[in-house]
Amino acid sequence: MTLAELRDALLGLSARADREHERAKHREEIIDRLHRENQQLRRGELQQLHEPVRGALYRLYDLVRRAELDPPDGDHVAPLLRMIGDELSEALGRTGVELFEVEFGEPYDSARHRPLGSEPVTDRSLDGRVVEVCADGFARGELVVRRAQVRVGKYQED
């Protein structure tokens, strides 16, 4: 074998090694992308699994808050109901959602509020604003997962 043949063989071998290296790099990129997508799917499935639990906790939370406003057996029940409501709020927090409260007079926002109806108001400044909060809302970060249920003021002259 001549020196030129040996050089050509080494160049060919080097070129093949470079191609295999590029293929391996491409495979690694695909594996990394598939791993990221798999993790995203898992997180989505986990969130879906939480939804029925959240739905039940939302309803229980609302029942407790309503009973707190109109206690069945007098004033000594209200503090207990407040503690239960706080515990439910914390339980919901452990599933990844946080309570957000809506204030009276806050401007109506369809992304955060679910209107249950309107209330006639004679104060023009309350037109299009929250005049009653029927149920608090919940969010996961910036994403609202349950809008607060509210009544919105609608201006009417006396």
- Cβ-based neighbours of 20, under 8 Å, separated by 6 or more: none
Residue 118 structural domain: 98-158
Decide if 79 is inside a domain.
no
| pLDDT computed for residue 74 by the predictor | 64
For the chain, count helices (H), then strands (E): 2, 6
pLDDT in tens, 25-36: 999 999 989 888
| pLDDT computed for residue 144 by the predictor | 96
Q: Report how far residue 12's alpha carbon sits from residue 16's, in angstroms, rounded to the nearest whole number.
A: 6
Decide if 39 is inside a domain.
no
**57: nearest Cα among 119, 146, 121:** 146
Q: Give residue 51's identity as a one-letter amino acid code.
A: E
Reported pTM: 0.58
Indicate whether 100 pLDDT > 80: yes
Decide if 88 is inside a domain.
no
The CATH number for 132's domain is 2.30.22.10
Decide if 132 is inside a domain.
yes
Decide if 32 is inside a domain.
no
The span from the first CA to the last CA of the chain, in angstroms, equals 109
Q: Report how far residue 23's alpha carbon sits from residue 151's, in angstroms, rounded to the nearest whole number.
A: 61
In total, how many domains does the chain have?
Answer: 1
pLDDT in tens, 38-80: 888 787 888 887 887 888 788 888 888 877 777 766 667 778 7
Question: What are the Cα distances from residue 29, in Å, to 17, 33, 87?
Answer: 18, 6, 45
